[in-house]
């Protein structure tokens, strides 16, 4: 389905508690945990969806 596959590995931070105007000194108190995310994009499908004014979900890898 694609000829231009890009992948990214990302650090994911899960927020466990909400807040507003949190001071940087206490920001880590709101972190529930960390994980690793793997993000894949079909870069040749992304501009096609953009041109048709459609969501980019189809470009977010549908590889079987």
Q: What is the pLDDT of residues 9-62, one digit of tens each?
A: 999 999 998 888 999 999 999 999 999 998 888 888 888 888 989 887 777 765
Kindly report the pTM of this predicted structure. Answer: 0.56
Check residue 48 and give its pLDDT: 84
From residue 61, how far is each of 25, 26, 32, 49 by CA, in Å? 38, 37, 28, 13
Check residue 14 and give its pLDDT: 95
Check residue 19 and give its pLDDT: 85
Chain-centre distance for alpha carbon 39? 6
């Amino acid at each position: 389905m694609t000829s231009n596959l890009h992948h990214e590995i990302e650090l994911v931070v899960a927020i466990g508690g909400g807040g507003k105007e949190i001071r940087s000194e206490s920001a880590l108190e709101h972190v529930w945990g960390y994980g690793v995310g793997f993000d894949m994009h079909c870069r040749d499908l992304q501009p096609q969806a953009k041109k048709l004014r459609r969501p980019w979900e189809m470009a977010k890898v549908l590889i079987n």
